Amino acid sequence: MSDTHDPGHGHSPAAWVAVTIMLIAFAIGTAAFFFSVVWLVWASVVLLVLGLLTGVVLSRLGYGVGGPKYVVKAHD
């Protein structure tokens, strides 16, 4: 095994925001499905897609890995 490390895969603000939004949407959708609230299940699906689109937009704005606004943090 080498000492090379991929410092950027999934460690960008774009990735964190997208995953957080999608996790919240998934949690809401799961609870809504359990309680048979159909409209809320579909609203959570919409929120899930919005989370994905937010990640793409933030990445294109430079907050993704390798973007000009992304700063790699040193690991100790």
Helices (H) and strands (E) in the chain, counts: 2, 0
CB atoms within 10 A of CB 51: 19
pLDDT at 1 > cutoff 90 = no
Q: How far is CA 56 from CA 37, 59, 60, in A?
A: 29, 5, 6
Task: Tell me how far apart the alpha carbons of residues 47 and 66 are, in angstroms, rounded to a whole number.
Answer: 26
Q: What is the tens place of the pLDDT at every residue in 4-62?
A: 555 556 788 999 999 999 999 999 999 999 999 999 999 999 999 999 999 999 999 99
